[in-house]
Each structure stands twice: as C-alpha cells, then as structure tokens.
Amino acid sequence: MKFSNANREETMRHILETTYDVIIIGGGLTGASILFDLQTRGVKTLLLEKSDFASAASESFDVLIYDKDTFQSLPKSKRNELQQLNSNLGSAFQFIPAVEVMSHHSPVSEQVKRRFLPFFKKDSVEQPVTKVMIHDQFKKPLQSFGRLTQTHIPFVDTARLTIDLIKASVALGADVMNYQMVTDLYISADAVKGVFVEDQIIGETHVIYGKKVVNATGLESGSWHNRYKDQSASKLTLSPRRKYQWLMDDTLWPIKVPLIIKGGVFSQTVTIIPKEEGVLISTIRQGDDMLRTHMVFNEVKSHLSHLLEQQVLNPDRVVTLKTVREVVTHAAKQPLAFYNTRPDVLTAIGSPMSNYRRYAALIGDEIVKQFKKEAAILYEASTTKERVIVSEIIEDSNEELPRFSQRECQLMTKYQLLPDRFEEYSQRVERLMIDYPIPKLLFIELLYTLENEGIYKAGDFLMRRLRLGVFLYTLHSEVVFQILRFLEYRLAWTREERSYYEREVKQFLEERNKLD
C-alpha cells in the first residue's frame, strides 16, 4: 500500500477488508520502530495514528542522545551500533563533535557510582580537551567547574527518523493510516478481535480487525493499560517530565562548539548547540508541573553567566521556544520495560533514544513468541534489531551530484532521493508551477510528502518542514494561499475542510511570527 492520503477512501477500504496480525496504536518513534521490526519478521502489521505521524517530534528540536541515568555519553560500542543501523538515513542521524562538562560535584547516586566507578575514574573518554577549540578565557572556568571531555554525540532529527521508519515499513508491506483515532478495543469471547476507530477527517467510525494490539501511545499508554488490563496485570503509573527548548538569535554566546553541562548548580543536564539558525538550548525538568519557560530560561542563563564569568544569552533575543511533555522511559526498574496488559494487548512505553531499535526488537520477540506458542511452534531468537533501515541511498550517485545546487543536494539528502527521481519531481513541479506559483524547492517537498509521507493537512506539512530548529524565514501569505489551493485540488478537500485548515495554518504561523 502506498504511503499517501491522496485517496483515503481506497486506502481505508483496503484496511477494513484486511485482518492484521498486529495493530499498533501510536505513530511516534516507538510505534514506528515496532512497526519496522515486526514487518521485517513477516508479521502483517497496521499502524494507526490519531493525528499526524511524529506530531510531537515535529514540534520539538532535534535530540541529542546521551545516557541521562549515568550523566555520561554513550559508550563507543553503542555509538557504532547506532551509526551502523541508521547509516541510510542521511541528515536524520549524524554524529557531531561536542564537549561534555561533568561537574566535580555531580548529583550521581551511590548505586550508579559503584556500577560505573571504573568509568568515572577515567581522565578522558576519547581525546584530551586540549584539542577542543575553546578559548582559554572560557576553558579555565569550565575546567574549574568540572572535567572536560571531547566526544562525538548522535544528533537526531526524531520526526524525520520516525517518518523514514514508517516509509521503510510500508516498502516491506506494512499498512499505515494517520488521522484515525482508536476509541476502543473490539473484544469478543474474552479475546481481542480488533479496534474501533473514528476517522478524524470525516467523522466516520469503523471496526478494524486484528489478532493482537500494541499500545504505543506515549503519555496516554498508562491510562490505556489500566483501562484494559486483566486481573493479573498491575496498574501502570507513568512519570512525566517537561523538556524546555529555546532557539536563540544571539551573538552573545561565545563558545562555538556544542556543550553538554551536567551536575553542579544545574539541576538537570543543559545542552547548548550553536547552529546556523542560532543557538539551541535544551533542558529537562522532572515532574508534570508546568514552570514558566522564561523562568527556567533565566535560571539557565544565570548559571551560565556565573560559570563563564560574563553575561551570556539575551532573553530578548529568543526566536522561539517550546515545552514538550514526555514519558520518563527509564523510570521503571527495568530500563527496557513493556507490559502485558492482557494476553493479546501489549503496552510499550518506549525507551531512551539510544536503545530504540533494541527495544522494538524486544517487543517483536515477545509478540512472535506469543504467536508461536499459540501455534505450538518452537521459538527461535531473531536478529531484526541488526537490520539496517532500507531507504533510497544517494551515496552511489555522488558523481552526479555536482550538477545540483547545494540546496538541492540538501533536499535530496533529507528525503533520500536519488538524482533521477529528484529530476522527475523537478520536471513535474515546473509544469505545476504554471497554475500554482510556489517556490520550486518548497513545491518539490510539498509534492513528495503528499505522495510518499501521508501528508493531508497544510498545517502538518508546515510543522514538519518548519520545525523550531529550521525556522529561517517568513512565508508570504500568497505562498501559503497557493499551498492550500494545491492541497485542496489534489486531496479533494470539502469547502469546510479548506476553511478549517486555512485558519489552522494562519494560527500556526502567526504564533511564530512567520506570516507577513
């Protein structure tokens, strides 16, 4: 089935006529990685998402991966594993050089210290910090604060990674559908037979048939588990936290390499990443209490100014900010925990980013074990967690790339488009631009995501493409109008849909001061 909403009626008819081995609820990274793992095993799988795929990740900055439990960067073996598994994802997964500043008085528990004592005794994980390009003016106060270590840390576009996983799964035969909210489980004779869904576009309700269900709904997974658990399953309480993120258009920040500052006066790890768009700042606060973002920012600013002995970060230069609620996935006693809600329903709360493929493999193992046990077949361990995500690779065509501009190459890398396919889209867009005057590269992205990534609402397209870290420019209202016209034509929107989605887009851009 093609990963597109261009004909939702036909897609929905196909889904309603199919009985699935597994239905996954939730279109985030956890659901997408489980979908990919199950599909590589030959399990007939469907993924349902109530809004847009990776909607939470699309409203967030890219993610730095590090071990939040031990306050340490990932071991070299783990980095190599992640690099190998995600080697086909282009700019969605890359390693960047960074400097870790570990406070001499880090709030690490005695249990963690005993477990990682040999690691803590090391003077340097990889290279001495003298090779890091930090001016002595700032290096000395940082060294007085804690130990400096040069390392390479994975820098991940979570939204892009999620969508690439879904696309790879669809290429293997999986079915996916967004804007379908699962309202209830269909249970007959004390066994799950499927799920009830409500179409968020047209309001219709349906029953989709399946043998097992995986609940991967993020913060909602706890309430789902408690609602459907059998008597043998214990109640699940998830620990939320809030991630505070800012993008600064600030020339005051003096250090031009990424910093990860841990411990000491910083109650939680703070990451500061200089990029072309500005300075990305991120920190996390445990618990669900909503603190004012400016209050948290001023706290971070105060600590950094005290540490570097000069004023840094201007609160008046904040370009944009975001607060995201997320699950503390390592809060359980088992770091890769999942729960058998009932014999045919499994709840997956997710894992730290560094283990997302291994976690999906554990879920896949559990489901396959259940199927084989029911069929009295001996289970054998699989190696799906070692499979590289298959997508179009442009590395073999590097000799052809010089004829493309830098922005065109960046677009090809982002969507993993081969040169021939990129030229095909380019030619189609040139013909369409006669009726829809949209900038060419923006139009190529619009057409590609419409046909290959399940876009339906104009606001979702802009949110995916213009996430906080890449908000570089203002969109002219005429361009937005043409995007709406094109989607209305290609997706056969009703007049009511067009009016609603237009208001949604205007609100989205006005909130970010990106509409002239």
Of residues 294, 204, 315, the one with CA closest to residue 252: 315
pLDDT band at residue 19, thresholds of 50, 70 and 90?
Answer: very high
**Percentage, residues of the chain above pLDDT 90:** 23
**Which CATH number describes the domain made up of 72-156+240-327?**
3.30.9
DSSP state of 202: T
User: What would be the CATH architecture of the domain defined by 395-511?
Assistant: Orthogonal Bundle (1.10)
pLDDT digits (tens, 9 = 90+) for 202-234: 889 999 999 999 999 888 888 888 888 887 778
Of residues 368, 331, 322, the one with CA closest to residue 349: 331
At residue 289, the pLDDT reads 65
**φ, ψ of residue 230 in degrees (nearest 5):** -85, 180
pLDDT digits (tens, 9 = 90+) for 469-490: 344 445 678 888 999 999 999 9
Residues 184-203 have a mean pLDDT of: 92
Q: What is the pTM of this model?
A: 0.82
Inter-CA distances, 328 with 177, 191, 331, 332, Å: 27, 31, 6, 9
Cβ(57)–Cβ(350) below 8 Å: no
At residue 469, the pLDDT reads 39
Domain ranges of the chain: 8-57+159-238+331-386, 72-156+240-327, 395-511
**Which CATH number describes the domain made up of 8-57+159-238+331-386?**
3.50.50.60
